[in-house]
Amino acid sequence: MSATRTDSTTPAALAPDSFPRWFLYGAAGLILFSLTSVALVRITGNGPDQRAAPATVERALRFEDRPDGSIAVIDGRTGELVSSVQGEQGFLRGALRALARERKARGIGHEIPFQLIAGHDSRLTLFDPVTGQRIDLDSFGPTNAGAFAPLLTAGAPAKP
Give the H or E element holding residue 34: helix 21-44
**pLDDT of 158:** 44
**Which pTM was predicted?**
0.60
Q: Given pLDDT bands bounded at 50, 70 and 90, which one contains residue 36?
A: very high
Contact 123, 152 (CB under 8 A): no
d(CA 139, CA 105): 25
H and E: helices and strands count for the chain: 3, 6
Q: Given pLDDT bands bounded at 50, 70 and 90, which one contains residue 153?
A: confident
SS3 of 24, please? Answer: helix
Q: Given pLDDT bands bounded at 50, 70 and 90, which one contains residue 159?
A: very low
d(CA 108, CA 105): 8
The predicted-structure confidence for 71-95, as pLDDT tens digits, reads as follows 888 888 888 888 887 766 678 888 8
